[in-house]
C-alpha cells in the first residue's frame, strides 16, 4: 500500500480519522479505504511504470491519503474533500498520459525511467517503422505491380 493509517492521521489529524471511522459499519474501513486507494493508483501508474514500484514517492503517499479520505466520507464528502479527490485523479491521469513526471528511485538512488512504450504514438512522415506486421521489410517482399 502507498499509505498507512499513521500517514492519514499525520496528514488530517487523528480526531478526523477516528470520527470518519466511527461512521463506518466495517471495523476495518480505514485499511480497506487505503487498499482501494492503492489499487486505484496502480491502475493509472501501471500504464507508465512496471509494478511493484521499487520505492514509493511522497506524492503517491499524498494521493493515497486524499483518495482514502474521500472513500471514508461514504455519504456526503465536503467540497474540499471532493476537490482534492478530483485533483488527485487528474494528476494520476496525467501520469498515465505521460504529461506528469513521477520520480521513482531504485536501490541505487537513481531515478528510473518509465517503461518503454510498445508502439509509437505517431510516426513522422518519411520515417520507417519496423515494429509491426506491415514493416518495410514485409512490404518489400510483396510483388510490385
Identify whether the C-beta of residue 64 lies closer than 8 Å to the C-beta of residue 1. Answer: yes
Domain boundaries, given as residue ranges, for the chain: 5-97
The 10s digit of each residue's pLDDT in 59-71 is 999 999 999 999 9
Distance separating alpha carbons of residues 89 and 83, to the nearest angstrom:
10
The 10s digit of each residue's pLDDT in 44-58 is 999 988 888 888 889
**pTM as predicted:** 0.75
Distance separating alpha carbons of residues 134 and 51, to the nearest angstrom:
32
Quick one: pLDDT band at residue 72, thresholds 50, 70, 90? very high
Amino acid at each position: 500500500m502507498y499509505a498507512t493509517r499513521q500517514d492519514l492521521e499525520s496528514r488530517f489529524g487523528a480526531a478526523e480519522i477516528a470520527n470518519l471511522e466511527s461512521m463506518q459499519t466495517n471495523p476495518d474501513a480505514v485499511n480497506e479505504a487505503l487498499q482501494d486507494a492503492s489499487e486505484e493508483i496502480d491502475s493509472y501508474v501501471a500504464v507508465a511504470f512496471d509494478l511493484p514500484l521499487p520505492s514509493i514517492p511522497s506524492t503517491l503517499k499524498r494521493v493515497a491519503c486524499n483518495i482514502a479520505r474521500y472513500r471514508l466520507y461514504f455519504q456526503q464528502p465536503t467540497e474540499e474533500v471532493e476537490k482534492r479527490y478530483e485533483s488527485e485523479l487528474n494528476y494520476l491521469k496525467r501520469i498515465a498520459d505521460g504529461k506528469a513526471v513521477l520520480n521513482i528511485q531504485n536501490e541505487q538512488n537513481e531515478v528510473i525511467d518509465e517503461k518503454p512504450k510498445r508502439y509509437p504514438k505517431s510516426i513522422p512522415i518519411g520515417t520507417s517503422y519496423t515494429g509491426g506486421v506491415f514493416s518495410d521489410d514485409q512490404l518489400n517482399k510483396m510483388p510490385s505491380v
